[in-house]
Every structure is written in C-alpha cells, then in structure tokens.
Chain A
Amino acid sequence: MNDPAHLRVSAEAEAAQFPPLLARAEHLAGSVLLGEHGRRRAGLGDNFWQYRPAQLGDSRRMIDHRRSARGDIEYVREREWQIAQSVMIWIDRGASMQFHSDDNLPTKGNRARLLGLALSILLVRGGERVGLTGTTLPPRRGNQQILRLAEYLATHDEADYAPPEHRAMIPSARAVFISDFLGPLDEVRLALSKAADRGVRGCMYQVLDPTEEAFPFKGRTIFESMGGTLSHETLKAGDLRDRYLERLAARKAELTELCALAGWQFSTHHTDHSAQAGLLWLYRAMGVSA
C-alpha cells in the first residue's frame, strides 16, 4: 500500500465511481489564482461551452432537450468552467496511524491516504487545484499533482502523533484534515483557529480502528503507543473500558464542537467500514457548502 503507484491505482479505482467533484467556490474572487474567467474547458459557469453526448453518470436534468430533440442522441450542454478552488489536504502520517488490530483490516494510515488521494483525484478531475497544507506541495492542477501527492503520502513520520500542518494556508481555500486525532488536541485547536482566521473552511475526518472504539481488552495488560513513547499498565483492562470510551466520546464531542465553531465539518470513519463510505462523506462534505 505504501507503493505510490499502487496507492494511486487504488485511489483511482475508488474515485472512478464518482462523477467529477466540483468544489463550490464561495469566495470566488479570492481563490481564483489565474485571475481570469473562462477556463477554456467545461465546467461550472454561465457561458456556453459545448454540447457533448450524455454519458453514464450524467443526471437527466443535465440533458439539453432543445439540442437533443434534433437528433437521436441526447446531449448535455456544458458551460465553460469559470472558477477554480484550492483544496489543501493534510493526512496524518504519524506512527499511531500505522495501527491495525487485525491482519484483515488496513492500517488507519493506509485508509487515510487512500481516502485523501481518492478525494484529490476527484478534485483534480473537477479542475480544482489540490495540494498539501504547509509548504511542501502547494495546490496545483493536473495529473502530475496526483503523482506527486501519492509519492509524498508514501512517506512516514516517526513521531507518535503528528500535529496538523497549519502553515502557509491559502486564504479562503478549502482544507481537509484526515487523522485519528488521538494526539494532543492543542495542536488541532491551533490549526483550526488559524484556518478560521484565514477564512479556510473544510472538514476533519477521524479514521479509527474498530478496537479503538470497542476496547475489547481484559486482564493484566501494558498498553504502548505505536512509537513506544507512551505506555500504560493496567491489571484489569476490562475495568478501563468504560472510562476509555467516555474519554473517546468526550474527545469526539470536543472535536465536533471545535469544527462547528470554525465552520468545519467533522465525522469519524472506521477502517472496518468500506472506503467508499468514507469517500462518499468526504465528497459530500466538499461538495456542500460548509
């Protein structure tokens, strides 16, 4: 899964099942870097661009009946895309994301990368500019960007819990944070406040392993973090379950609250669920105005 080519193939496969995603640009003027209308290609806009034959996945409402009535083929009227949005993605590459409770389940990191890249592909197809937060990979268009993303995502971070990258956020752009959010919350809070300051909206997607939700442990146990920096010994793991679950719920609630304050969306994804479900949520979160 860490092989960039493989990751991209999987991501393409996931993305192929969705029609092109067009991120909605709220603040049109601020985000358009090219500065001009008319992107010389089909997209969301007011000007006629071209008629093209209806394809699978086009909704019926998109069919232009005036043109279609002239022949046997149904046509879709496309308009020239006039705007582009910048989307910045942050995917947690920390050691905690390397966890998976069962050999049959992917690691959280894998699932997060898959979701992030699939979302990127959808966005790129929609003509959006996609990049990473921070200065490593600023948003760009085109398939090349997908490759670069895949390559970057294949690397790991050694730290147990990686803090969200919040530097060099483009104002009024969109952002997606995918992580397990089990690390210190202060960093998250900081990142969100910075994003809110710059008018960046987006979503936070928490990817968790099922055991992290269920805590099915019993007996005398020493719990260690993936990097080994943290450890906790208990004699009766079963007794900890309720308190652990309380804490987890509290954290989720706090994240939800933070997101709500910043105008973001928050949800949780489990690795034992299908990646499609996760991608669908991300797709909708990016498509709907937050």
Chain B
Amino acid sequence: MMGLGSIGFTAPWLLLALIALPILWLILRAVPPAPIRRRFPGVALLLGLGDDDTVTDRTPWWLLLLRLLAVAALIVGLAGPVLNSQERMTRSDTPILVIVDGSWAGAPGWQRARAAILGRLDVAVQLRRPVGLLNLSDPAPVTFQPAQRVAERLAAMEPNPWQPGPTMLNAARDQLQGLPEFDTVWLSDGLDYAGRGELLALAQERGTIQVLQGDTAVVGLRPATYEEGEVRLSAIRSDGAGATTMNILAQGRDPAGNPAVLERGEITFGAGDRVASLSLTLPDEIRDRVTHFSVDGTQSTGATTLVADSLRRVEVALIASQGDREALQLLSPLHYVGEALSGKVDLLDLSLNEALPANPDAVLLADVAILAPQEQEALQAWVEDGGMLIRFAGPRVAASDISRDTEDPLMPVRLRLGGRSVGGAMSWGEPKGLADFAEDSPFVGLDVPADVTVTAQVLAQPGPELSDRVIAQLTDGTPVVTRKPVGLGQVVLFHVTANAEWSNLPLSVLFIDMLERLMGVSDDNATVTATSGDTWQAVRVLDGTGSFAKADALAGVSDATMSAGEFGPAFPPGVYQRDRQTVSRNALEKDDTLEPATWPATVAVTGLDGPVQRPLGGPLLAAALVLLMADILASLALSGRLTGARAAAGLIALALMLPPLPAQAQDAEEEFALNATSDVVLAHVMTGNDTVDDIAQAGLRGLSDALFFRTSVEPAEPIGVNLETDELAFFPMLYWPITPEQPRPSAEAYAKLNEYLRSGGLILFDTRDADITSLSASSPNARKLQQLAAPLDVPRLEKVPNDHVLTRTFYLLQDFPGRHTGRDVWVEAAPPDVEAIEGMPFRNLNDNVTPVVIGSNDWAAAWAVNQSGAALLPIGRGFSGERQRELAYRFGINLVMHVLTGNYKSDQVHVPALLDRLGQ
C-alpha cells in the first residue's frame, strides 16, 4: 500500500492515468458542443444576423474543469484511496500477534479498544496476514489463524477482573519464545505491571511492535475501612493530571432486597494528586447493608471494592450475674470483656429480657448460673435460631448445680463438682499454660503467649462427645474452652472467669482475638495463612467490569491459593467464606498504587481513538457521478436543449444522489401522546443500533398488520420509544431487543419502567441469539440483558408452562419460535401452590399479565415486513420456514391478546358458558 500523508491507495498505479488529464483538456477544448437543428419559420427574420462573439464555439473553461474533475475523481476513486490508512501494517507474510492485557484496567474503554483492534484486523484481512491472539490475563497457546477468526474471538472476549500475574506472564513468555518471527500489535490497558518489559523485549526481538493505549487514566478504589465511626475510602488513579471530582457510590440492597445505591459521596483529586480519600458517615442500618463501593461511571473491577463483614457491626449483649454492683470496677466480671470488645462491636448493656428482642449477634453471660425459666426459654429459642451464646465460668457457676447431672441445653458440657485450682497458694503444681490450638479449632492460627496461665477452672465431665466439643485446652489436656452446636446456633463456655480472678487469659491479646473469632468479627482483608486444606467458598465474585458474576459455578479456593493472592480464573476477586469467617479479596489492596505503563521511545504508541481508516473510493466515485450529472445538465444548458422539464428532472436526479437531510425530530410531546393513544400502538425500545431498531420497527409493523387482518385489534403504525424522554404508559407492550452496546437507562428511566411494569405493562425482552445460546450468561446479549434488567422490578420467573395462558389466548400454541426456534421463553412464575383442578385441562394461574416475557428467538426478524407488506427477512428454509414465520405471528398475536385481555382465557368462571356455547 502506497501512502500519501494519511491517505493510502490500494491500487496506486491507476493514478498514472491522471497524466492523461491535460490531453483530455486539449481534446475537450477543441471540440465545441454539437449544434442543434431546429425548424423555425421565423428564420426568414434571422437571415443576416451575425454572432456577436465567437468564444463559445469552444467548450467553456468551467465545463472543462467540471469534466476533468469528474474524470479525476473517477481515476482517484478507482485507485482505492483509504483515509488514515495504517501505514505500519504492510503487505508481508509475517504473521501478526495481537497481545492484549485484558485486565480490568481496560474494562471502561473496552468497547473502544476492541473497535480499535478490530480496525487493525480489518487491514490484516485485506492483506491476508495470519493473526494470533495472546491474552496476557488468560494466556492460551497462540495459533496463527486468518484474521476473521481472531476477530470473532476478540469480539467474544471480555476483560478479566485481574491484572496479569506472574504465572500468567510466565506462560505468555513461554509462548512468545516458542514463536517464529511476528509483528506485534499490543493493546495495553495503560497500567504497568511487573514482567511487562521482559515481554516487550521479546516482542521487539521478533518484529515490529505497535502499541494501542487509551489516554484516559485508570481509576481504582482501595478497600474500605471502618475507623472511628467513619467509613474511609481512598481512590487512586494512574496519572496525576488535573483536578477532578468523582462520585463514589455505596451500593447494597434496599430493605426490599433490591440492589440500590445506598449513599453517594464525592471524592476530589487535586491537580497532580494520585490519591484522594473520602470519609463517609453512614447510619448503622445502612452500613450493614453495603456490599460494595464503586466509582460512578467507571466500570471496572479496580474501581469496585467489595466489603464482606468489615463494615458490619457485631452487637453483643453483656450479661453479668446480679448483685456485686458495688464491687470495684476492676473486679466486675464484664470489665475485661468489655474492654476487649470495645471499639470493635456494639455493646448492649441491657438485661437479658430487653437484649434478646434486639437480636444481638452474641450474648455473653459472665458467671451466670441460674436463669429465670422464662429467660432460659427465650435464650434457648434465640440460640436455636442461630444465636451465639458465650458463657464464662466463675464462682457461681462452680458452686451451682448447673449441668451437673444432666447436660444443660445452654451448656456445652457437663461440669464436675467444684472445679479445680492449680498453682495457688493452697494447691500443688504450677499454673497451667494453654496448649496450641488444634487444627479444627476456630482459634487455629492464633499465637499462644507463653505467659497465659490458668489457676482455676471448672472441669468438664469426661464423656464420649467431650473431645469433639473442646476447642481450647490447657497443656495438661483439660478443656478450657468448649463449644456445642444448638440448633442453628452454638454455645461456648470459657471454663475460666471473664475477669482476671482465675486466669490472666482475659488480660492477654489472645483473649481479644479469641472473642473476635468466636463472634465473627473479622478483618475483611485478614491475611489467610496457608495452614489447612480448608477451602473457601466464593459468595460473590466480580467480573472485569465490576459487576457481580456467577459465583456458584466456582470451585472452592484453597488456603494456599488464597494466601498466594494471585488472582486467576479459579480465584477472581470477590467475597469468600469459610465457616463463619468472611473475607473480601479485591483487585486493589490497601497500599496499592496504579502506575501508568510507559513505553520506550522506539515503540510507536497510538491512542484508541486513533483515526479510523475510511475507504474513500465510494464517495469519490459518487462525486464523479454527481459531477457527470452536473456536466450533462450544463452541456444541455449550453446547447440550449435544457427545457424546464428536463432541468427539473435533472435537478431531482441530482438531489436524489445527495445524502438525505436528517429528518427533523418531532419533539412535541403532545403529538407523541396523540399518536400513541389514538389507536392501540405497539412500541419498541430504541437501542441506538439502527439495524436492530429498523428490524424492530418493521417487525412490529408486520405484527400490527397480522393483528389487523386476523383479530379485532387494529393497531396503528408502531412507535420507537426513547426510554429517557418518552412516556411509556400509553403502550400495552414494549418490545426490547438487546444489543451489547446499548446504554443503560438512567435511574429516572428505570423508575418509569418499574412504574410501567407495576401498572400492567409488558416488556418482551429479546436477546436475539437463540441460535448461539439459550439465555445463558455466555452470550454478550444475555449478559447485557442481566445488567439491564437488574434494577427492574421483575418477579420470579419460570419457563412458560404448558398450561400458561399465553399458549391459548388466541391460537393454541406449544412453541414460540421467531427467527430462531429456541425453546426457552420465560414468564412470571406461577404461585407454587396452584394445583390443577380435577377434570380441568389447566391450572388457574396468575391473576394478571406477566410483566416480562424473556426469550431469545429474535421475533421481530420473523415478523418484519417492508412497507408493501412483504416479509423482510428469510426464515428457515422453504415451506417449513414459512410455517415458522406463521407460528411467530401466532405467538405475537397471542402475546398482544394476553396483554390486552389478561387472564380472560384462563378464567375458569367462564368455562361452563364457553362449553355451553360450544355445544350449540
């Protein structure tokens, strides 16, 4: 390809023809326009009249210029000019390797980046160069394929929620080393990471390299912390550019369980700052519901930080035995416990009867032996519902008969009479220290200080189940903490006092850790030691764009993986749980910074928005045609043959060739309302993709026609609806085709949609890809559908049951095919307790219209007709295809009937009347 500035030519030799232009000039100049012969009786009067000037016997210069321009445009157009042609990509046999960082950092600009790289691949297609693809975040063996194949793979690729880690980079390096010579196109996310330079050097050795990199800074959010009653957040960015302000959203579930933005705050980067922080004061109730924080408008894993339980405040009720109120404060059985827990949990200083209704996370009983029967009952019920009861022994417990002969339901073990004391003034032996914690103990991993000793304790009755219940013991093997599950909850007994009377355990750091472990107060970002073979289960994980992905398909993550901390397909950022412990693993850690990727001066770096290459041949040829038309008109005018009608025809032809002016937008709301309400009107949601919108419009037109011909519903021309600006309440039904690129509606639009759904509207979602997949999350359309529909007030769904009213509102149907014949169509689920009545062919199902119908059969394409009513797109093959189209129409008619008549056809009240009528 030869280049001329930013314009290249695919067939530059054709330009030689331009040399012929001056010759053409001479020839055209010498030949005047041919005369026209006219019969004219008045010639007698003309005899003897001479011409004033004789210049016009040559073609006028402007006509010559016009013709030369036309010919020049023709020649240049045929030479195949390409604007912004990629000069770097030249015709050669060397394969091209596309290296993609593929991390979350590129997620916000992923569509653009993908478009840019696909643009390069277009050139590769033209040049027939084989292309390989290497995703550094998920390296797979590189194979060089035709560029179209790689383009398909790229189109399906999504950014990963992690940065390329050492393992991945090693694999990538191995791949590169095994490859012969290649030219590299590197799509960088703009972030630096260890090992990038090494890969770069490798790529440079093999051939030329070109880097595509977006110019927007990468923004990330560090994990949230809770300090001094405030949630502390800090955002980081990869460049210290100008001052900017970002919105931070605290997201979670509202009381109804729907995802919602609970709080928003502004975070401001000063000019040059790369870190900015924000403190949010959230009411406890709100704070407990926060699941993650995110940067508004930046959809990436890094800009989303998950919180597990670190913001949740544990409520603990502290109950001591009655009396002793006037004792010294330091002797109070609850003093050390209170100190240990203060600042980490909310302490409820109430009586048991008052505390239980507040449903604390844990109840702590210090040396309480006897409970009133009513209290005993309430406490037991609470524990069985999942409460955590922590009891401490003490003189009263030791002296009482509690759990002596039979095991008390609220005691983990039976106690021996009196307890024991060791190492005291009146006893033999040394005070006993604590033994290391066993593997299955919740305290595993805690360091046992050597100076923790126990001088007195209550003793457990030996029994078969005792060893299972011991979670901490002394060096001599006597239990010091025991635990037993009760119902959903558990009861833990410290065999020592809660104050320093029997042991100095309450004075030690260990005590605090033990209580925290027990009560599930955990540091989200706690380091996990690779101690056991325990696995962590993902609760929720993030995808590259910072949205929640499916977590239940992930296998458990082992301690070792967790502690290594390298994310990967098996261990994406997310919230993980083990027993009662929940930790969050975010893409960015506490002290992470974002370093922008820098490239050596020898490497060409272009922006993503780099000029798109644009073939100019078409417009030039069109221009040549227009010029030739103008030439015809001008020649006619010159030779006097241009009569009024011819001029009009010529002008019309010229006008037709010019691009049509954009039609003026009708923004009159009133007119819209009138159009929408004067007849029944079907509507579709404008997706912004012209092709899809046109098909939807044509499809609804076809369906409207079918309704008009076959039923008493006589709809007017369908309307495309802009969710942001148009009123929805006018339409019985919205057809919403899903495209991966369509923008998310605003909050107001969602409010309008929810209102629409609640007031009886129906939205038919169509992912249009049943030929690829059946509504699983693996297609971009289905993923987009999930994102779009998440804020909608959609009830529980089920596949259309055989007796759903949709199967018989007008036609009797079993399948609902469109252009595809996927079987899965989802509607609002029937109430679980509905049974078919004996003798009736169907159940008496929902009493209203299903608010959504979700499918992927591309119905609009099957319905689509052109203005003259002929089918627009081919469906299936031959007659069976036409049958399929007919069934698609029937589905559409049934659907509209369902919307308009509700459950009329499933209303059992009318069955006798209907049967009666059938009998006639």
Kindly report which residue of chain A lies nearest to residue B54, judged by CB atoms.
A235
Shortest A204–chain B CB gap in Å is: 17
Contacting residues, chain A, for B639 (C-beta < 8 A): 218-220
Contact with B along A221-253 (1 / 0, CB 8 A): 111111000111111111110011001100100
Judged by a CB distance under 8 angstroms, whether A105 is at the interface is no
Judged by a CB distance under 8 angstroms, whether A217 is at the interface is yes
Partner of A219, one of B33, B45, B46, B53: B33
Judged by a CB distance under 8 angstroms, whether A38 is at the interface is no
Contacting residues, chain B, for A240 (C-beta < 8 A): 46, 49, 51
Within 8 A of A (CB), among B24-44: 32-44
Asked if residues B51 and A223 are in contact (CB atoms below 8 Å), the reply is no
Asked if residues A244 and B640 are in contact (CB atoms below 8 Å), the reply is no
Among B32, B35, B57: residue with most chain A CB under 10 A:
B35
Judged by a CB distance under 8 angstroms, whether B52 is at the interface is yes
Judged by a CB distance under 8 angstroms, whether B56 is at the interface is yes
| Contact A96:B41 (CB < 8 A) given known A220-B34, A222-B35, A234-B49 | yes
Contacting residues, chain A, for B51 (C-beta < 8 A): 234-236, 239-240
Judged by a CB distance under 8 angstroms, whether B641 is at the interface is yes
Asked if residues A230 and B47 are in contact (CB atoms below 8 Å), the reply is yes
Asked if residues B41 and A220 are in contact (CB atoms below 8 Å), the reply is no
Shortest A239–chain B CB gap in Å is: 5
Query: Would you call the interface of chain A mostly helix, strand, loop, or mixed?
Result: mixed
Judged by a CB distance under 8 angstroms, whether A142 is at the interface is no
Judged by a CB distance under 8 angstroms, whether A183 is at the interface is yes
Asked if residues A225 and B640 are in contact (CB atoms below 8 Å), the reply is no
Asked if residues B45 and A220 are in contact (CB atoms below 8 Å), the reply is no
Shortest B47–chain A CB gap in Å is: 6
Asked if residues A224 and B45 are in contact (CB atoms below 8 Å), the reply is no
Size range of the chain B interface in the assembly = 20 to 34
| Contact A224:B44 (CB < 8 A) given known A219-B639, A234-B51, A244-B49 | no
Contacting residues, chain B, for A233 (C-beta < 8 A): 35
| Contact A244:B38 (CB < 8 A) given known A219-B33, A237-B640 | no
Partner of B44, one of A219, A230, A237: A230
Partner of B42, one of A212, A222, A236: A212
Kindly report which residue of chain B lies nearest to residue A212, judged by CB atoms.
B42
Partner of A244, one of B33, B39, B45, B53: B45
Asked if residues A235 and B43 are in contact (CB atoms below 8 Å), the reply is no
Among A183, A219, A231, A247: residue with most chain B CB under 10 A:
A219
Asked if residues B40 and A224 are in contact (CB atoms below 8 Å), the reply is yes
Partner of A215, one of B37, B42, B47, B57: B42
Asked if residues A222 and B44 are in contact (CB atoms below 8 Å), the reply is no
Judged by a CB distance under 8 angstroms, whether A161 is at the interface is yes
Kindly report which residue of chain B lies nearest to residue A250, judged by CB atoms.
B45
Kindly report which residue of chain B lies nearest to residue A183, judged by CB atoms.
B44
Contact with B along A250-265 (1 / 0, CB 8 A): 0100000000000000
Within 8 A of B (CB), among A171-219: 180, 182-183, 209, 211-212, 215, 217-219
Contacting residues, chain A, for B53 (C-beta < 8 A): 236
Among A161, A215, A232: residue with most chain B CB under 10 A:
A232
Asked if residues A231 and B43 are in contact (CB atoms below 8 Å), the reply is yes
A212 to B40, CA, bound (A): 8
Contacting residues, chain B, for A183 (C-beta < 8 A): 44
Partner of B35, one of A108, A212, A220: A220
Judged by a CB distance under 8 angstroms, whether A99 is at the interface is yes
Contact with A along B183-223 (1 / 0, CB 8 A): 00000000000000000000000000000000000000000
Contacting residues, chain A, for B42 (C-beta < 8 A): 182, 212, 215, 223, 244, 248
Asked if residues B41 and A225 are in contact (CB atoms below 8 Å), the reply is yes
| Contact A161:B44 (CB < 8 A) given known A223-B38, A236-B56 | yes
Contacting residues, chain B, for A211 (C-beta < 8 A): 40
Partner of B45, one of A231, A236, A238, A248: A248
A223 to B37, CA, bound (A): 6
Contacting residues, chain B, for A108 (C-beta < 8 A): 41
Asked if residues A217 and B640 are in contact (CB atoms below 8 Å), the reply is yes
| Contact A218:B38 (CB < 8 A) given known A183-B44, A232-B47, A236-B51 | no
Kindly report which residue of chain A lies nearest to residue B644, judged by CB atoms.
A216
Shortest B265–chain A CB gap in Å is: 78
Chain A count of residues within 8 A CB distance of the other chain: 38
A37 to B57, CA, bound (A): 72
A225 to B43, CA, bound (A): 6
Asked if residues B40 and A223 are in contact (CB atoms below 8 Å), the reply is yes
Partner of B39, one of A97, A218, A226, A239: A226
Shortest A156–chain B CB gap in Å is: 14
Asked if residues B41 and A221 are in contact (CB atoms below 8 Å), the reply is no
Kindly report which residue of chain A lies nearest to residue B643, judged by CB atoms.
A216
Judged by a CB distance under 8 angstroms, whether B21 is at the interface is no
A238 to B53, CA, bound (A): 12
A237 to B52, CA, bound (A): 11
Judged by a CB distance under 8 angstroms, whether B657 is at the interface is no
Shortest A84–chain B CB gap in Å is: 37
A215 to B46, CA, bound (A): 11
Shortest B127–chain A CB gap in Å is: 52
Contacting residues, chain A, for B37 (C-beta < 8 A): 221-222, 224
Judged by a CB distance under 8 angstroms, whether B638 is at the interface is yes
Partner of B46, one of A97, A180, A223, A251: A223
A222 to B46, CA, bound (A): 11
A183 to B45, CA, bound (A): 9
Within 8 A of B (CB), among A88-117: 96-97, 99, 108
Asked if residues B56 and A235 are in contact (CB atoms below 8 Å), the reply is yes
Asked if residues A220 and B39 are in contact (CB atoms below 8 Å), the reply is no
Asked if residues B36 and A222 are in contact (CB atoms below 8 Å), the reply is yes
Asked if residues B57 and A235 are in contact (CB atoms below 8 Å), the reply is yes
A75 to B277, CA, bound (A): 119
A81 to B736, CA, bound (A): 96
Asked if residues A221 and B45 are in contact (CB atoms below 8 Å), the reply is no
Asked if residues A180 and B640 are in contact (CB atoms below 8 Å), the reply is no
Asked if residues A219 and B641 are in contact (CB atoms below 8 Å), the reply is yes
Contacting residues, chain A, for B52 (C-beta < 8 A): 236, 239
Kindly report which residue of chain B lies nearest to residue A95, judged by CB atoms.
B41
Contacting residues, chain B, for A209 (C-beta < 8 A): 41
Asked if residues A226 and B41 are in contact (CB atoms below 8 Å), the reply is yes
A248 to B637, CA, bound (A): 26
Kindly report which residue of chain A lies nearest to residue B47, judged by CB atoms.
A232
Asked if residues B641 and A99 are in contact (CB atoms below 8 Å), the reply is no
Kindly report which residue of chain A lies nearest to residue B45, judged by CB atoms.
A247
Contacting residues, chain A, for B32 (C-beta < 8 A): 220, 235
Asked if residues B38 and A238 are in contact (CB atoms below 8 Å), the reply is no
A108 to B39, CA, bound (A): 14
Partner of A182, one of B39, B45, B638: B45
| Contact A219:B41 (CB < 8 A) given known A234-B49, A240-B46, A240-B49 | no
Contacting residues, chain B, for A230 (C-beta < 8 A): 43-44, 47
Shortest A245–chain B CB gap in Å is: 9
A143 to B35, CA, bound (A): 51
Contacting residues, chain A, for B56 (C-beta < 8 A): 220, 235-236
| Contact A221:B49 (CB < 8 A) given known A215-B42, A237-B640 | no
Among A182, A218, A223, A240: residue with most chain B CB under 10 A:
A223
Kindly report which residue of chain A lies nearest to residue B36, judged by CB atoms.
A221
Asked if residues A220 and B44 are in contact (CB atoms below 8 Å), the reply is no
Contacting residues, chain A, for B33 (C-beta < 8 A): 219-220
A residues engaging B (CB < 8 A)?
A: 96-97, 99, 108, 161, 180, 182-183, 209, 211-212, 215, 217-226, 230-240, 243-244, 247-248, 251
- Can you report 14 A-B residue pairs in the complex whose CB atoms are below 8 A from each other? A99-B40, A108-B41, A183-B44, A218-B639, A219-B638, A220-B56, A223-B40, A225-B43, A225-B44, A230-B43, A233-B35, A240-B46, A243-B49, A247-B45
Cβ-closest 7 pairs across A and B: A219-B640, A218-B640, A96-B41, A219-B639, A220-B35, A223-B43, A247-B45
Given contacts A220-B639, A223-B39, 12 further A-B contacts (CB under 8 A): A99-B39, A212-B42, A218-B638, A219-B33, A219-B637, A219-B641, A220-B33, A220-B36, A235-B32, A240-B51, A243-B49, A244-B49
B residues engaging A (CB < 8 A)?
A: 32-47, 49, 51-54, 56-57, 637-642
